[in-house]
Amino acid sequence: MPANPKYLTQSKWQRFAKISAAILGGYFVSATFHLALASWFNHVNVLITMAFSGFIVWVALMVVAFLAKNGWKIWGIYLLLSLVFSLLIYAGQIYNPIIK
């Protein structure tokens, strides 16, 4: 049974925005989130855990991107979250430098 067309996205730009936000934006948020955790906590444990939890977070963010009404808004949210996590990475490297 095919999907009802009234529930599908009609605009090709919205479809592109949702697909690209799901794949790229979700990956950026997932990666920066785990790297931010690694800069504040034990980086070895966090990066080993990222092999599994990173994929789960990425898939959850993909689902959220397709549930949104506007693909460009979800792109903005994902870019904003990536920026916040990047600032946390920067702050974590300043206050918790890794000395080798």
Tell me if 78 is assigned to some domain.
Answer: yes
| Longest CA pairwise span in the chain (Å) | 60
Q: How many domains does the chain have?
A: 1
* Predicted local distance difference test score (pLDDT) of residue 8: 67
What would the mean pLDDT of 63-67 be, rounded to a whole number? 92
* Predicted local distance difference test score (pLDDT) of residue 55: 92
Tell me if 51 is assigned to some domain.
Answer: yes
Instruction: Tokens for 41, please give them.
Output: 């906590």
Give the pTM: 0.83
Which pLDDT tens digit goes with each residue over 6-49? 766 678 888 899 999 999 999 999 999 999 988 888 888 888 88
User: Residue 32's domain spans which residues?
Assistant: 13-94
Q: Where are the alpha helices (DSSP H) in 1-100?
A: 12-20, 26-40, 43-67, 71-95
